[in-house]
Structure 1
Amino acid sequence: MATAETRLTDWLRDAQAMGKQATTMLDALAKGIENYPDVKAQLERHLQEARDQAAALQGYGERRGEGGPSWKESAGQCVAMGQGLSGAFVGDKLVKRAITEISCYNILIASAAAIGDKETRGVCEDILLREKAMLNWLMNYLASATFEHLGREETPDGETSTLSKP
């Protein structure tokens, strides 16, 4: 039977793998975006945050003498690379990923609190705030990004779009 600490360790390892997947995907997306400078800049900012988060989570494993990538991490990075290289900016996928990460960090915070690990809880609370900020940015930006995208599709030769702004 798994203990609370064992379960937290497993979940943190999964979160670390998720963070590395995110950096792979965000890096590929940011490199492929040309027509959306605001999105590119935000992705690059979040990419740096994701790298910092991965380093913070790695500290937890190192404190417990763990290390090395898991099979989940390796497989996940391959999947993330494929998603990022698809060349399509799909806000829906970014929103779903942000919601998944927020859920994950809420669970990690509760788990760390349950075993009295204040350091891990603090790291996860900081990461949670950053993930919520990214989700809020995405939610606010999606309407205008959608309008811009549809306008580009409607007028590929640069003519004025007939779409109404939201």
Structure 2
Amino acid sequence: MESITDLYVTGLKNAHAMENQALSIMRPQVARIESYPDVLARLEQHIRETEIQLERLDALLDAAGADRSALKDAALSFSGMMAAMGHTFAPDEIVKNSFANFAFENFEIAAYKSLITLATEAGNSNASSVLRQNLDEELAMASWLDSNIEAVTLKYAALRQSGEQAKK
């Protein structure tokens, strides 16, 4: 039988792997974006946020006396890289990446809400406030993606109609 603290630590390891997966999704996208400077800038900002989120998770894992799950980190990083590669052949790569990023941000939001609940139940209010920082950054990114999908789609359509490179 697992204690609430065990569940919380497992959640921390999962979040750590999830953020590594996020980096493996965003970094290849940033390397390929050419025609969408607003998307590029926001992804670069979120990569920096994600790196800080990983540092926060590392500190929480250290405080809990827990190791990172190298296997989870590697497996999710690989799957994220493969997901990012999957859209590179699509003529509407930028639009598909926008959909996928929005979905992944909402996955992260749900994961952090669950993890905050576990931290609170485990009596770890310090962890809850740290995790809330990560959640707030994910909420902001999801909101940005949501409010920019129309602009990205319209720019993609305009570039395609003019015969310019539109996919990335």
Question: TM-score by structure 1 length?
Answer: 0.89
Counterpart residue number, 1:164 = none
Q: Output the CA distance in 2 between the equivalents of 1:37 and 1:49.
A: 18
Counterpart residue number, 1:52 = 52
Q: Output the CA distance in 2 between the equivalents of 1:36 and 1:100.
A: 24
Q: Is the 8 A contact 1:30 1:44 kept in 2?
A: yes
RMSD value, Cα: 1.5
Q: Which moved more, 1:124-133 or 1:80-89?
A: 80-89
Q: Secondary structure at the match of 2:67?
A: coil
Deviation at 1:151, TM superposition (A): 1.6
Q: Output the CA distance in 1 between the equivalents of 2:23 and 2:158.
A: 30
Q: 5+ unaligned residues in a row in structure 1: which ranges?
A: 159-166
Q: Output the CA distance in 2 between the equivalents of 1:51 and 1:137.
A: 19
Counterpart residue number, 1:132 = 139
Counterpart residue number, 2:17 = 17
Q: Secondary structure at the match of 1:124?
A: helix
Deviations 1:13-49 (A, max 9, x none): 0000000111121111111111101000000000000
Counterpart residue number, 2:163 = 156
Q: Output the CA distance in 2 between the equivalents of 1:51 and 1:70.
A: 17
Q: Output the CA distance in 1 between the equivalents of 2:33 and 2:144.
A: 17
Counterpart residue number, 1:95 = 102
Deviation at 1:68, TM superposition (A): 4.1
Identity %: 25
Q: Output the CA distance in 2 between the equivalents of 1:129 and 1:139.
A: 15
Q: Output the CA distance in 2 between the equivalents of 1:135 and 1:16.
A: 19
Deviation at 1:157, TM superposition (A): 4.9
Deviation at 1:150, TM superposition (A): 1.4
Q: Output the CA distance in 2 between the equivalents of 1:100 and 1:157.
A: 34
Q: Is the 8 A contact 1:95 1:138 kept in 2?
A: yes
Q: Is the 8 A contact 1:32 1:85 kept in 2?
A: no
Q: Secondary structure at the match of 2:66?
A: coil
Q: Output the CA distance in 1 between the equivalents of 2:115 and 2:65.
A: 19
Deviation at 1:67, TM superposition (A): 2.1
- Of structures 1 and 2, the larger Rg is shown by 1
Counterpart residue number, 2:71 = 71
Counterpart residue number, 1:161 = none
Question: Match for 1:64: what amino acid?
Answer: A
Deviation at 1:71, TM superposition (A): 1.6
Question: Match for 1:72: what amino acid?
Answer: K
Structure 2 residue 92 is the aligned partner of structure 1 residue 85 = no
Deviation at 1:152, TM superposition (A): 1.5
Deviation at 1:115, TM superposition (A): 1.3
Counterpart residue number, 2:31 = 31
